[in-house]
């Protein structure tokens, strides 16, 4: 009884619902209580046990409706299959004995829909139909399922019936009579349609999620400045998901680092009331400095999209990077920490662009503005993260200011969304800024951004 539910859990995972083994066990126990008879109750129970957000509930609902439905029955042939006419024993010869039909032929001739449905499901499981991913596999899986159900024997039965009808002079395949294999052939055509419908159901169930992951992989490797507006919401979700994975991984790493060495002195003191028996153990903890991050984002037209994703990424990691101050600039520097923290990323970026964006980049003046107004924000525990293409429209780059920032900060990291081969060409001052940075990295795609932020988290915490 658990097999259908486990298959459904797999389908739900493919559809993007995050389900842990513990949640799967909870669902199994819940379904044991309510059973499979009440479809609405089953759907509610699975939604409560497995979905953790409104979006996941919607995906789970769609997956449930598709998974627990069966393709409509293919209409039977106009002339139902009938068993071959019996030949009187005194007229039979050794070569004309009444043929013994296989199981599939007998089920088709009897119109046993239950037996045929069970055979289709058994063939689907045996051929691994849930592994279908692309539409070009539909024909292959349909053929494999029919072969598993006994297609070879069925075709032999049809040929045998045709030969028997021809021997009696009743006309075989072309004769159109039910005495031959024509009625069984019509039933086979209907069965092919039913098997194809079953394959297409799993194709819809599993290939849709595979296509979604393929699209996400493409978006993760495409230049963020080239993302189509139709994919912006999908991209924001990818950024949040990647940030969540990094946050969870970093939390596990910190937990592993903070255990393993017993603090004997504090353990004895803590258990003094029990005569020193260590009922409560205390482990040595490594004191971690509170990380400080100052982010300077170029929000001119060519870099604004990347800046949005960077800010979304960093503030999604607020549980780990707890002290972040954000600044945006094009022609002048403005602090935007309160805007980013108080609004969704898309609204925050819209307001930031309205406030300081759409101008010509002037890195030199922006650095001077920062030194004048916020240089005190930088200490020897601060990591300065600069995102920009370093194209200042041939203005004075004021590398001396960046040098002084680097002398005060713990480290300076510059992320450039352009291809590395373009650095230093035209009005790019990247080659002049690089000597005053601890790290200079290309950061034009989401995957590149994720790698840089992961390294940053390991470095500042």
The string of pLDDT tens digits covering residues 405-416 is 999 999 999 989
Question: Looking at per-residue confidence, does 394 or 94 come out higher?
Answer: 394
The answer, yes or no, to whether residue 5 has pLDDT greater than 70, is yes
Please report how many Cα atoms fall inside a 13 Å half-sphere around the Cα of residue 276, on the Cβ side. Answer: 2
Dist CA 440 CA 436 (whole Å): 10
pLDDT of amino acid 440: 92
* Residues 334-375: tens digit of each pLDDT: 888 887 776 766 677 677 777 776 667 889 999 999 999 999
Residue 299 has pLDDT above 50, yes or no: yes
Strand partners, 445: 223
Task: Compute the distance between CA of residue 108 and CA of residue 76 in angstroms, rounded to an integer.
Answer: 10
Mean pLDDT of 308-330: 74
Supply the pLDDT for residue 288: 52
**Distance between CA 234 and CA 370 in Å, rounded?**
34
**C-alpha span between 429 and 364 (Å, rounded):** 10
With contact defined as beta carbons under 8 Å apart, do 146 and 152 qualify? Answer: no
Mean pLDDT, to the nearest integer, of 83-95? 49
Which stretch, 74-88, 119-133, 286-300, 307-321, has highest mean pLDDT? 119-133
For 224-278, the pLDDT digits (tens) are: 777 777 777 777 777 777 777 777 766 655 555 455 677 788 888 888 878 777 7
- pLDDT score recorded for residue 412: 93
Instruction: Name the residue with higher pLDDT: 80 or 60.
Output: 60
DSSP assigned state of 415: E
In angstroms, the CA 17 to CA 374 distance is 44
pLDDT of residue 94: 43
Range from 191-205, 276-290, 372-386 carrying the lowest mean pLDDT: 276-290
298 versus 207: the higher-pLDDT residue is 298
- Residue 93 pLDDT: 46
Residue 407 has what pLDDT?
A: 94
pLDDT at 422 over 70: yes
| Among candidate residues 244, 258, 255, the one with its CA nearest the CA of residue 318 | 244
What percent of the chain stands above pLDDT 90?
A: 15
CA distance 401 to 329: 15
Measured CA to CA in angstroms, residue 72 lies from 193, 229, 380, 409 at distances of 10, 39, 69, 68
**What pLDDT sits at residue 175?**
45
pLDDT attached to residue 438: 92
Contact 290, 320 (CB under 8 A): no
Once rounded to an integer, what is the mean pLDDT over residues 423-452? 89
Cα 362–365–370 angle (5° rounding)?
A: 120
Looking at per-residue pLDDT, the higher value among 3 and 144 belongs to: 144
State the pLDDT at residue 376: 92
Q: What's the CA gap between 446 and 225, in Å, rounded?
A: 11
Mean pLDDT of the chain: 79
């Amino acid at each position: 009884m658990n097999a259908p539910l486990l298959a459904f859990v797999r389908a739900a995972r493919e559809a993007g619902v995050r389900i842990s083994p513990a949640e799967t066990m909870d669902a199994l126990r819940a379904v044991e209580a309510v059973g499979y008879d009440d479809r609405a109750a089953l759907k509610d129970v699975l939604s409560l046990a497995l979905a953790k957000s409104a979006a996941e509930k919607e995906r789970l609902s769609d997956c449930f409706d598709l998974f627990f439905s069966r393709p409509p029955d293919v209409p039977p042939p106009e002339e139902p299959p009938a068993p071959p006419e019996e030949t009187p024993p005194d007229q039979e010869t050794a070569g004309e004995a009444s043929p013994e039909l296989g199981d599939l032929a007998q089920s088709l001739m009897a119109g046993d829909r239950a037996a045929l449905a069970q055979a289709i499901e058994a063939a689907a499981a045996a051929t691994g139909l849930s592994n279908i991913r692309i539409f070009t596999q539909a024909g292959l899986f349909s053929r494999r399922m029919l072969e598993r159900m006994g297609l070879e024997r069925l075709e032999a039965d049809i040929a045998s019936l045709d030969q028997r009808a021809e021997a009696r002079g009743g006309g075989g395949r072309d004769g159109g009579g039910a005495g031959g294999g024509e009625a069984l052939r019509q039933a086979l055509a209907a069965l092919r349609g039913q098997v194809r419908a079953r394959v297409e159901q799993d194709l819809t169930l599993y290939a849709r999620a595979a296509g979604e992951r393929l699209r996400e992989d493409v978006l993760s490797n495409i230049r963020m400045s080239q993302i189509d507006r139709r994919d912006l919401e999908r991209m924001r979700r990818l950024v949040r998901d990647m940030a969540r994975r990094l946050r969870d991984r970093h939390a596990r790493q910190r937990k592993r680092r903070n255990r393993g060495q017993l603090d004997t002195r504090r353990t004895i003191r803590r258990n003094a009331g029990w005569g020193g028996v260590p009922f409560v153990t205390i482990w040595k903890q490594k004191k971690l400095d509170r990380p400080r991050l100052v982010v300077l984002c170029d929000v001119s037209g060519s870099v604004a999209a990347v800046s949005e994703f960077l800010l979304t990424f960093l503030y999604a990691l607020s549980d780990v990077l707890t002290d972040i101050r954000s600044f945006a600039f094009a022609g002048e520097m403005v602090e935007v920490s309160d805007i980013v923290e108080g609004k969704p990323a898309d609204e925050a970026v819209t307001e930031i662009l309205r406030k300081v964006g759409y101008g010509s980049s002037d890195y030199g003046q922006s650095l001077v503005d920062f030194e004048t107004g916020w240089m005190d924000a930088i200490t020897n525990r601060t990591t300065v993260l600069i995102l920009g293409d370093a194209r200042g429209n041939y203005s004075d780059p004021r590398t001396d200011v960046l040098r002084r920032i680097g002398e005060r900060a713990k480290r300076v990291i510059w992320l450039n969304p352009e291809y590395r081969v373009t650095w230093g060409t035209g009005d790019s001052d990247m080659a002049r800024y690089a000597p005053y940075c601890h790290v200079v990295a290309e950061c034009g795609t989401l995957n590149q951004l994720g790698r840089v932020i992961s390294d940053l988290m390991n470095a500042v915490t």
